[in-house]
Chains A and B, each alone.
Chain A
Amino acid sequence: MYSSVWWRVIELGRISTDLFLFRCMLLEEWRLQRAYVGGFGSYFFPLIILAFSFFLVVIFPLEDAKSSSVIEIIHLLMFIYGIAVGWIALMGEQVMTRRMGHVNLLLKLSQVQNISFRRTTAIFYLKELFFYHTYSMVPFCLGLAAGGMVSGLPLAGSLMVSLTVVLVFTQGMSLSFAVSGVLTRSRRFGILLILLSVILISAPVSIGLLDPVILVHPLYFHRTEDPIYLLAAVLEIIFLSIIAIIMMKEKVTSPVKNFRSSLLPLPDRFPGSGRKRALLAKEWLELRRSRTMWPVLIGFLVPLLAVYGLVYLLDRGLDIDIHFNVVFFGALIGAFGVMTYSWLNNVETNESLDSLPVTVGEVIRTKLWLYFLFTSIISSLYITAIGLIQGEIPMIPLGILVGLSTNFYIAHVTARLTGLRTNTMLLDAVTLSGFISLVMPPLVALAILSFYLEDGAIWSVASTIVVSMLLVLAGLFFRRSTEPRWYRERFGI
């Protein structure tokens, strides 16, 4: 069946090599996904996205399409989604050698054929853009339009929202690719550039010299309908894409390095016993040696800071009458941890463990342990810092409780549903719907409760504590059921 598709493509004859490679990469992505999550999950994923955006708009109608806070939040979420999709490029080399293990991707073609790595990367990037737009943005926009019709939003309004949402997603993706490209060239220069950009943007905003929404061009175009901002958004995307492609390393080689053995004494530093400690020592060493620890930590911290920054900017720029307190931010933490947990799984395929008496469940527990080690400290510091900045010191303990409990719960739900293949399993329709239905209700409940905390109502404090405790209990339940769920699973594909 596959060969007939290849021949049909070849027979077209007139298409260029690049287009042919693009199509091959697209087929590769699709087959890889089907290999991971199966046909059913792959085909139904867009339907789940469609249903999600449909109900989102039906439940929270876009009454005033120009300035609704729902629209701002949708844009915010799509920007973050774009960043998450693009972030994978940060580890261009690792994507090829580790995430996929022994699976050979077309991205590796430059190693044996007369095509440059930059060219294959450029085609890979375009393929990613096409794939994620077709697979998730198109159904999202269709759901938005259908939901808008039900909730009374004119078709023109839906189209406008769809256009700007697509643009903001593409911006996030291209920004992520560009930053990744710069970081792969020079880590120091990349970090310096990021810090400089943050200062240059936040300084004029904080003293009221700049309307922050102007910076989010698609959103500003949505509000003003001034085509100059549409043009600016498109040019930004093109510029970032060019930066990403130019900056990609031409050659993926590394000098042979020697390391003195440091595995044997390591297990004594970790809790538990036997295999668990040995696995923790292994994971720890791999994180250090692969230089993945910082990307993992940054990958957790940056979205949290970005959310705070964006909410702050939107708050100032849009005069939304809702105040987002420290407990609200606490409830968001777990949602961003999904990406961090996913990265921990991408350090190594662990294929070699298939021949050892170790189960996937044991490795999941090890990953979760490391995950909490990293994220608990960052989460607590993040909430404390926001509490101090916003002058909500009495709320900090409650914020930390909410942050840690949602983090605990969502990490265990993710581990139970996706095992060691979070990236791809979340593209499975069944898994994704399970994830959304398990994660969204408690998060929404905690977010709503956080708004009532402003009034100092005792019932809202008590309810927040009760929900947090219930999340811990539910997390423990998922922890127990993770091992049996993944017992039969292999480490390799």
Chain B
Amino acid sequence: MIILTDISKGDAEDVFLYLLFILFCVSAIEVKDVCKSFGEFKALDGVSFRIEKGELFGLLGPNGAGKTTLLRILTGQLEQDGGEATVLGIRSTDHVKVKENCGIVPESESPPSFLTALEFLQLVCMLRKTKDIERKTRRWLSFFRMDGQGDILCRDMSKGQRQKLMLASAFIHEPRVLLLDEPFINLDPIYQRKVRDHLESIRKEGITILMCTHILDLAEKLCGRVAIINNGRVIATGTLEQIRKGGGEGLEDVFIRLVEGD
């Protein structure tokens, strides 16, 4: 495993890092024996898995299983007690570098209250030093059919609109890795479909996606591989076929069987 965190900053570094990432076949995301406790409560207990470039990987689990905690560790919002987590070979503790290279949709949709939808996307572009801001912001507002809502303050938007905005903010700079926590929540079926199609198309272009979700039928349709996490431990990982162990069960049945049997 190559850890590339101490190189000088700048665009050239990003290119260099990406070349090394391709040359040395570093996993896009690697989680190795990660542990995290909150007081007595063990939120993660030795979680390990790898996600290769161009994979759409689903992290499934019941409420409180540790999915969001793991995502927060990967995005550097939490520090693990033990183990190692890397994104594109960058240690998750170097959170600014990780965030520069990822698109992130957090658990709660909370764009800034007093910026308009358009301004929020413009701000994201400015902070990420994305070029062609006007075109990109218009494109993503149009993608979510929010062209007419660009001038509304984020606090006046519905939950669904805010979620669309968070998704747009994760897609707008065309990152190589997407870390999505419940990306379909609050979206109506039309936009669930639209986002699903988009995720499938960018995966084909080589973008790596890690997605936490409760919506098992969407996970079943989208994810090449999944990990089922319960009580802070990975209880199953692999392709859907591997998890089903050749049986004809749907993902929902497998999920319930594994979680309840754990």
Among B57-65, B120-128, B226-234, B249-257, the stretch in contact with A: B120-128
Chain A positions within 8 Å of B67 at CB level: none
Q: Are A261 and B156 in contact (CB under 8 A)?
A: no
Q: Are A257 and B170 in contact (CB under 8 A)?
A: no
The residue that A357 contacts in the complex, of B96, B115, B122, with Cβ under 8 A, is B96
Q: Which residue of A lies closest to B157 (CB)?
A: A256
Q: Are B112 and A356 in contact (CB under 8 A)?
A: no
Q: Are B156 and A256 in contact (CB under 8 A)?
A: yes
Chain B positions within 8 Å of A356 at CB level: 99, 104, 124, 127-128, 169
Task: Compute how far the CA of A492 lies from the CA of B68 in the bound complex, rounded to whole angstroms.
Answer: 14
- Give the shortest distance, in Å, between A271 (CB) and chain B (any CB): 16
Chain B positions within 8 Å of A286 at CB level: 112-115
Chain A positions within 8 Å of B75 at CB level: 354-355
The residue that B123 contacts in the complex, of A254, A278, A351, with Cβ under 8 A, is A278
Given contacts A256-B156, A264-B122, contact A352 B105 (CB under 8 A): no
Task: Compute how far the CA of A102 lies from the CA of B106 in the bound complex, rounded to whole angstroms.
Answer: 13
Q: Are B122 and A285 in contact (CB under 8 A)?
A: no
Chain B positions within 8 Å of A260 at CB level: 151
Q: Are B96 and A359 in contact (CB under 8 A)?
A: yes
Given contacts A259-B116, A267-B126, A348-B112, contact A97 B104 (CB under 8 A): no
Chain B positions within 8 Å of A279 at CB level: 127
Q: Are A259 and B128 in contact (CB under 8 A)?
A: no
Q: Are B127 and A357 in contact (CB under 8 A)?
A: yes
Q: Which residue of B lies closest to A260 (CB)?
A: B151
Is B150's beta carbon under 8 Å from chain A?
yes
Is B77's beta carbon under 8 Å from chain A?
yes
The residue that A263 contacts in the complex, of B96, B115, B153, with Cβ under 8 A, is B115
Q: Which residue of B lies closest to A290 (CB)?
A: B114
Q: Are B108 and A275 in contact (CB under 8 A)?
A: no
Q: Are A290 and B106 in contact (CB under 8 A)?
A: no
Residues 331-371 (chain A) with a chain B CB within 8 angstroms: 347-352, 354-359
Task: Compute how far the CA of A349 lies from the CA of B112 in the bound complex, rounded to whole angstroms.
Answer: 8
Q: Which of A101, A281, A289 lies at the interface centre, i.e. has the most chain B CB atoms within 10 A of its CB?
A: A289
Is B79's beta carbon under 8 Å from chain A?
yes
Is A14's beta carbon under 8 Å from chain B?
no
Is B129's beta carbon under 8 Å from chain A?
yes
Chain A positions within 8 Å of B123 at CB level: 263, 278, 281-282
The residue that A352 contacts in the complex, of B77, B93, B120, with Cβ under 8 A, is B120
Chain A positions within 8 Å of B118 at CB level: 261
Is B110's beta carbon under 8 Å from chain A?
yes
Given contacts A263-B115, A355-B75, A359-B96, contact A278 B127 (CB under 8 A): yes
Is A16's beta carbon under 8 Å from chain B?
no
Task: Compute how far the CA of A262 lies from the CA of B108 in the bound complex, rounded to whole angstroms.
Answer: 26
- Give the shortest distance, in Å, between B108 (CB) and chain A (any CB): 5
Q: Are A354 and B106 in contact (CB under 8 A)?
A: yes
Q: Are B96 and A355 in contact (CB under 8 A)?
A: no
Is A249's beta carbon under 8 Å from chain B?
no
Is A251's beta carbon under 8 Å from chain B?
no
Chain A positions within 8 Å of B152 at CB level: 256-258
Is B133's beta carbon under 8 Å from chain A?
yes
Q: Are A357 and B99 in contact (CB under 8 A)?
A: yes
Is A269's beta carbon under 8 Å from chain B?
no
Is B66's beta carbon under 8 Å from chain A?
no
Task: Compute how far the CA of A348 lies from the CA of B123 in the bound complex, rounded to whole angstroms.
Answer: 15
Q: Which residue of A lies closest to B170 (CB)?
A: A355
Contact string, B90-117, partner A, CB cutoff 8 A, digits 1/0? Answer: 0001011101100011101011111110
Q: Which residue of B lies closest to A278 (CB)?
A: B126
Residues 226-279 (chain A) with a chain B CB within 8 angstroms: 254, 256-264, 267, 274-275, 277-279
The residue that B110 contacts in the complex, of A275, A347, A351, with Cβ under 8 A, is A351
- Give the shortest distance, in Å, between A276 (CB) and chain B (any CB): 10
Task: Compute how far the CA of A443 lies from the CA of B118 in the bound complex, rounded to whole angstroms.
Answer: 46
Is A98's beta carbon under 8 Å from chain B?
yes
The residue that A101 contacts in the complex, of B110, B116, B150, with Cβ under 8 A, is B110
Q: Are B113 and A354 in contact (CB under 8 A)?
A: no
Chain B positions within 8 Å of A101 at CB level: 110
Q: Are A261 and B119 in contact (CB under 8 A)?
A: yes
Is A488's beta carbon under 8 Å from chain B?
yes
Is A490's beta carbon under 8 Å from chain B?
yes
Task: Compute how far the CA of A202 lies from the CA of B180 in the bound complex, rounded to whole angstroms.
Answer: 61
Q: Which residue of A lies closest to B79 (CB)?
A: A488
Q: Are A348 and B156 in contact (CB under 8 A)?
A: no
- Give the shortest distance, in Å, between A263 (CB) and chain B (any CB): 4
Is B214's beta carbon under 8 Å from chain A?
no
Is B32's beta carbon under 8 Å from chain A?
no
Q: Which residue of A lies closest to B99 (CB)?
A: A357
Task: Compute how far the CA of A279 lies from the CA of B128 in the bound complex, rounded to whole angstroms.
Answer: 12
The residue that B150 contacts in the complex, of A254, A261, A290, A488, with Cβ under 8 A, is A261
Task: Compute how far the CA of A347 lies from the CA of B114 in the bound complex, rounded to whole angstroms.
Answer: 9
The residue that A285 contacts in the complex, of B106, B114, B169, with Cβ under 8 A, is B114
- Give the shortest distance, in Å, between A346 (CB) and chain B (any CB): 12
Q: Are B106 and A355 in contact (CB under 8 A)?
A: yes
Is B155's beta carbon under 8 Å from chain A?
yes
Task: Compute how far the CA of A275 lies from the CA of B99 in the bound complex, rounded to whole angstroms.
Answer: 14
Task: Compute how far the CA of A358 lies from the CA of B127 in the bound complex, rounded to whole angstroms.
Answer: 8
Task: Compute how far the CA of A300 lies from the CA of B122 in the bound complex, rounded to whole angstroms.
Answer: 32
Task: Compute how far the CA of A369 lies from the CA of B112 in the bound complex, rounded to whole angstroms.
Answer: 20
Q: Which residue of B lies closest to A349 (CB)?
A: B110
Q: 10 smallest A-B Cβ distances: which pairs? A: A355-B104, A278-B126, A289-B114, A357-B99, A263-B119, A286-B114, A357-B100, A258-B151, A351-B110, A256-B156
Q: List 26 A-B contacts (CB under 8 A).
A: A257-B152, A260-B151, A262-B119, A263-B122, A264-B133, A274-B129, A275-B126, A279-B127, A282-B112, A286-B112, A289-B115, A289-B153, A347-B114, A348-B112, A348-B114, A349-B110, A352-B111, A352-B169, A354-B77, A354-B106, A355-B104, A356-B169, A357-B96, A357-B97, A357-B127, A358-B96
A264-B122, A356-B99 given; 10 more Cβ-contact pairs under 8 Å: A97-B113, A102-B108, A256-B156, A263-B119, A348-B113, A350-B112, A351-B110, A354-B106, A357-B128, A488-B95
A residues at B contact (CB < 8 Å): 97-98, 101-102, 254, 256-264, 267, 274-275, 277-279, 281-282, 285-286, 289-290, 347-352, 354-359, 488, 490, 492
